Every structure is written in C-alpha cells, then in structure tokens.
Amino acid sequence: MEHGAPTAADKRQIQDGIEEIIWVAALKPTNIGVPAFEDEVRQYLEIAVLTVELRPAAKPSRLIELLHRAIPYPLVLAIGQGGAVSLSLAHKRWSQGEAGKVVIEEVRQTEVNPDALTPQEAEFLVSLAVSRLPSRDLYILYDGMLTRLPLSCWLQ
C-alpha cells in the first residue's frame, strides 16, 4: 500500500479487495540465464511473478493497475476471482517528470478459465515458458510475453 495506493480510496480497495498475494518468482539473470537490460528509458533487472486472489466484491481493473504501479519491476500478474483467472503485464519506464519514479505503460490483460481451457488458451500458456521466449535480455523476454497475449483481449 505504501508504493501503489495514492489515495485513501485506493488503500481501502487494496484492504477490502485483496484476499491473498503470493510472490511466486523473481526471474533474474542468475536464475534463468537471461541478462538484465538497462538503457536511458528503462531498467529490467528482474521480472516479478505474483498471484493474487481477490475477494468477490473487489474491482479487479483498478487493483491490477495499483499492483503494477506498486511493484518496481516488470510484473507477470495472475489474478483469481470467482474461478476466473486474469493475466496482466505492462512495460515500465523511468518517469520523465519525477526522478527515480517508474511509470507503467499500457496494461495488457487476458482472461482464461483454468477449468476449461480452449486449445488456443492452452497453447498461449505453454508459449509463456521461459525456454520458449526470446532470451537476448530481460526486456526482450518480457516483451515476448506481452506479444503473446491474445490481441483481442488487450485492455488499455
């Protein structure tokens, strides 16, 4: 809440809407063999993978944005709510207005039903394996995940 909730209403949404957060993995050069990336626009030292379980009355779209803002690393966010699972990703860059701050670019999101995956959804999920992604650096790897999201499901 300290990093991703700019208003009292946002803090309430986090407290009332999130049942559980699990930090699943940190994909780093030392554990996946893909180099970090840094230029004048962005720095990708690791990719965070989190799962979040929302309460039934939670508003997922705002919470997804808040979670992406709160984590300073590129984030693979899997959110569960009432049996549905949403997967979201968003590139991050340095803020041009505030030194040391990170800005999220467009959040891209898709939903899958883990209990009844279509063949396309199953293929999509398999395509996210690190061994199937481009591995020049962490930015390219994360961009590879983003480009695999079904185009029809991109939310901005």
pLDDT digits (tens, 9 = 90+) for 31-63: 999 999 999 999 999 999 999 999 999 989 889
Task: Look at residue 84 in the predicted model and tell me its pLDDT.
Answer: 85
Reported confidence tier of residue 152, pLDDT bands at 50, 70, 90: very low
Contacts of 138 (CB under 8 A, 6+ apart): 27, 29, 34, 35, 36, 37, 44, 45, 46, 47, 74
> To the nearest whole percent, how much of the chain has pLDDT over 70?
93
Structure tokens at 149: 């999201």
Question: What is the residue extent of each domain of the chain?
Answer: 8-153
Predicted confidence (pLDDT) at residue 93 exceeds the cutoff of 60: yes
pLDDT digits (tens, 9 = 90+) for 11-32: 888 889 999 999 999 999 999 9
Predicted confidence (pLDDT) at residue 154 exceeds the cutoff of 50: no
In one-letter notation, the amino acid at residue 54 is L
Task: Look at residue 155 in the predicted model and tell me its pLDDT.
Answer: 43
CA dihedral 138, 2, 52, 124 (to 10 degrees): -30
